[in-house]
Chains A and B, each alone.
Chain A
Amino acid sequence: MATSNNFLRELVNKLGQECVSVDSLEKLVYAHDLAALPKSVKLLFNTTPDAIARPRSIEHVAEIIRLANEYKIPVIARGGATWGFGGTVPVRGGIILDLTGLNRVVNLDEKNGLLTVECGVVWEDIMRFLQETNWELPTYPSSALSSTVGGWAATGGIGYGSLKYGPFVKNVAKVTAVLPDGRVVVADDNSNPNLSQLFGSEGILCIFADLTLKLIPKSEVERPFMANFSNFANAVMAAQEVLRLTNPHSLVLRTFGFVRAKDYIESDTYFFGCFNGNRYDVDRQHLTLGSIVNRYRGYLTPEDEARREWEERFYTLRIKKWGPSILGNEFIIPVHKILDIVKYCWHLGNQAHLDVEVEVMFISRDKALMFQLFLCDERKSIRYLTEAAITKKVLDAAIKAGGKPYGYGLWNFPFMERAEPEKKRELKSMKGVLDPQNVLNPGKTIGAELMLGIPLPGKLYSTFMDGVWVLRKVV
């Protein structure tokens, strides 16, 4: 849909020339997120935005949305663009709202440990800011060096620290949000809509403008750990016992593939994480950890290696160097199904001749966030398209095992009906009420659209992917 000149003129009038771009190179680089799209898939959508706006205030955001409503133009919120499910990729052009300019720390309530920040603040900047205070973040994503606070509110909200302190939504006191009609509202647990309804809405229900985060008092000590195992099953069992007998800040398990990118890890599987709190408690838990690891025939690495791994915790994609491309997906599954799914991933990888890497971030005693990726090469476009189907196979299996995708966006939308029918119904009804013109991030999460706004039935998409997978096996 071509964006009218009148709309652009008004946009420039309201925001100023320096906050709007229609430059062709600019549009090219805003037409994507983390994932490399197969060229043939790109043809189905109009991924090039008509313009990019960089608002400088909440008022700017509200103005843009009001104007977009008037002209019925899609608005796609964009933070760090580090999410890989197509959430920031336009499907029929529109305006990309680059929110990274809203990056101020607004207020620290020292007494109550509450920090208000604008949505475009990157996590690392908060960590730096808090260094001088008595407070720290309870939880943050492993993309903390570039992703934004608003982006995490709009997506899964599970990361380091979630095991001990819960997901992001539980660690937010309130937010200021701009609704699809341009109204600016404050939402908390008791408002309508409330935080749980807005969090994870993937940019289709509101724009988070600022957020007030609940902090925790700074830990007396932080003691990272790392354990190597020669066998994946043992590592999983040991991890389960660690979860039962201790209370780690984070616990992450990785398989062999990640080892190739790091010279100091020798084993097939390892887990790492961190205990935090008072010294006595932390040391006691560390002792317990040692005996568990021993029982499962693993061994703890020296403390300096553990610390190095912990400091490296934001560098989870090093392995991409060997791809050069990756096909990945993320889902939440019951802990007792980890082994089955990993074996299935390996089996699929074998069939497709692709290296499979698996990372498991435990989020409670019985649930884990699993990230699997296959190394491939996007330059072999037909092959890459057929390989893309592998991620669907894994998700099918994860849902069957009682799991659900960790986000839907553009690529996982067909799975929502099966994995979370209730949530889909709620989102759909809220979308109908709040955004009748379908202005905010259309064609995502609850249903996809091709260019020109033609709906893409989930079933058709799934059948196509299955067909492509059969082709892959045959060829």
Chain B
Amino acid sequence: MLVLPKLQLEDVFACAQCGYCMKRCPVYYFLGWESTSPRGKIFALKEILGNDGRLDEQSIRKLGKSFSTRFFNCTFCGFCREVCHVEIDLLEIWSKVREILYDHEVVPESIIKLSETVKKSKNIYMMDNLSRTDWITYTGADVNFKDSAEVVYFVGCITSFSGRVQSIAQAVSSILNSANEDWTLLKDEWCCGHPLALSGAIREARVLALHNVEMIESTGAKKVVTGCPGCYLALKHEYPRLLGKKPRFEVLHSSQLLDTYITSGKLVVPKADITLTYHDPCELGRISGVIREPRVVLQSVTDTFIEPEYFGRESICCGSGGLLKAVNPSLADNLTQRRYGMLASTNAEVIVSACPACVQALAQTATAIQNGKRVIDISQLIAEQLGLM
């Protein structure tokens, strides 16, 4: 027997079934069936939950697989929550349901594999975690490992291991050096745990959180910088909840750091004669509220910055979130192509984002088509402008 917490239960019953969330859901946009929409999922929950929020084992066993397909076909982009008529925290409900499904072992095969991988190897790629810093050699970045420093650069699994976006780590490192920051990498960084939290594996995510916090706090750093919105969300918002206390460091996304450097004059970026557009990563923009800073940075580089259709809090997901890529790669691909189309139709020369997963997905789409645009991360753009790369 399982119980949906009271707050979420009230929200399930408060849903007006108005459908405002459906129009925005990028998954429903492609699948089209009511049960794949946020509204449909809430209704299904209401139907199988008792009035007290209880969910009996039998229902979970019976409907588990259907539920699992629907609840994991979701990018956790949070657009449903953003537009909800009655301000339901839908992401919180989606998380709780994934937790319940995970506890009952009715999650998709790919999710089981992923969580096993992370638990074992401490990264999402089943790589030897000692090779996490190999990007330093590949890119020739100038990096120091220190016992103590003011700033920790938390790189994250995708940037560390994925060849296509390792240049983001190089860019962030060179910017930190150029700003004369006293910084270090962690000697033993583990996956931030966000993929586990998204899998519903909360207990396992806690183990990773504990390790990373210990590592960071042992350096005495007051700030942690990351270029990955998933890591940012985990470090800043998930860790306090997972660990029951707020860690003793401030968390910044690289775009926020760039904003402070540029606004304070610490870095002077020469203007470029280039048209740029920007894709707001869902976890950074809508979910974490970091919307202004990347724009300040981009507008310092160019006078021709063009917003795409749907931006800021209304940005449309590129398909890289919520583990959709693992669960349903072809659907994730559809989402990427749709978003790429919107960005490309601005006619900007370069598409910028602030997330290794978004950059990777959008760049893959761009290279697969004729005359695809250049897609880069905001830190790369600035490092290039500063002549650091």
| A positions within 8 Å CB-CB of B | 21, 23-26, 28-30, 32-34, 52, 54, 80-82, 98, 100-101, 122, 124, 143, 145-147, 314-315, 317-318, 320-321, 323-326, 377-379
**B18 near A82: Cβ-Cβ < 8 Å:** yes
Question: Chain B's nearest CB lies how many Å from the CB of A247?
Answer: 30
- Contact-residue bracket for chain B: 20 to 34
Determine whether B86 belongs to the interface, using a CB cutoff of 8 Å to chain A. yes
Question: Chain B's nearest CB lies how many Å from the CB of A221?
Answer: 24
Can you name 14 A-B residue pairings with CB atoms under 8 Å? A23-B35, A24-B66, A25-B35, A28-B47, A29-B35, A29-B40, A81-B34, A100-B32, A145-B18, A145-B23, A146-B18, A146-B20, A146-B22, A318-B85
**A54 near B32: Cβ-Cβ < 8 Å:** yes
Question: Chain B's nearest CB lies how many Å from the CB of A28?
Answer: 6
Distance A178 CA – B23 CA, assembled complex (angstroms): 26
Known: A82-B19, A317-B16. A30 touches B34 (CB 8 A): yes
**B14 near A321: Cβ-Cβ < 8 Å:** yes
Partner of A25, one of B22, B32, B51, B63: B63
Partner of A317, one of B47, B63, B70, B86: B86
**B18 near A143: Cβ-Cβ < 8 Å:** yes
**B19 near A28: Cβ-Cβ < 8 Å:** no
Known: A25-B44, A146-B22. A321 touches B87 (CB 8 A): yes
| B positions within 8 Å CB-CB of A | 10, 13-14, 16-20, 22-23, 32-35, 40, 43-44, 47, 51, 63, 66-67, 70, 83, 85-87
**B20 near A25: Cβ-Cβ < 8 Å:** no
* B87 contact set on A, CB distance < 8 A: 318, 321
* A98 contact set on B, CB distance < 8 A: 32-34
Interface of B is mostly: helix
Partner of A26, one of B34, B67, B83: B34
* A26 contact set on B, CB distance < 8 A: 33-35
Question: Chain A's nearest CB lies how many Å from the CB of B33?
Answer: 6
**A34 near B32: Cβ-Cβ < 8 Å:** no
Residue among B35, B40, B66 facing the most chain A CB atoms (10 A cut-off): B35
Question: Chain B's nearest CB lies how many Å from the CB of A327?
Answer: 13
Q: Which residue of B lies closest to A78 (CB)?
A: B34
**B51 near A379: Cβ-Cβ < 8 Å:** yes
Distance A80 CA – B63 CA, assembled complex (angstroms): 25
Distance A323 CA – B13 CA, assembled complex (angstroms): 9
Q: Which residue of B lies closest to A321 (CB)?
A: B86
Residue among A34, A324, A326 facing the most chain B CB atoms (10 A cut-off): A324
Known: A124-B23, A145-B20, A146-B20. A101 touches B14 (CB 8 A): no
**B43 near A32: Cβ-Cβ < 8 Å:** yes
* B20 contact set on A, CB distance < 8 A: 145-146, 314
Task: A23-B66, A54-B33, A317-B86 given; name 4 further pairs at CB < 8 Å.
Answer: A82-B19, A101-B32, A321-B14, A379-B51
Known: A32-B43, A82-B18, A378-B13. A25 touches B85 (CB 8 A): no
**B19 near A80: Cβ-Cβ < 8 Å:** yes
Question: Chain B's nearest CB lies how many Å from the CB of A321?
Answer: 4
Q: Which residue of A lies closest to B63 (CB)?
A: A25
Known: A146-B23, A317-B86, A318-B86. A379 touches B13 (CB 8 A): yes
Question: Chain B's nearest CB lies how many Å from the CB of A350?
Answer: 24
**B86 near A25: Cβ-Cβ < 8 Å:** no
**B18 near A317: Cβ-Cβ < 8 Å:** yes
**A324 near B66: Cβ-Cβ < 8 Å:** no
Distance A326 CA – B15 CA, assembled complex (angstroms): 11
Distance A392 CA – B293 CA, assembled complex (angstroms): 55
Question: Chain B's nearest CB lies how many Å from the CB of A118?
Answer: 14
Question: Chain A's nearest CB lies how many Å from the CB of B334?
Answer: 14
Residue among B17, B22, B34, B47 facing the most chain A CB atoms (10 A cut-off): B34
Distance A399 CA – B328 CA, assembled complex (angstroms): 54
* B14 contact set on A, CB distance < 8 A: 320-321, 323-324
Q: Which residue of B lies closest to A325 (CB)?
A: B13
**B23 near A25: Cβ-Cβ < 8 Å:** no
* B43 contact set on A, CB distance < 8 A: 28-29, 32
* A24 contact set on B, CB distance < 8 A: 63, 66
Distance A80 CA – B33 CA, assembled complex (angstroms): 12
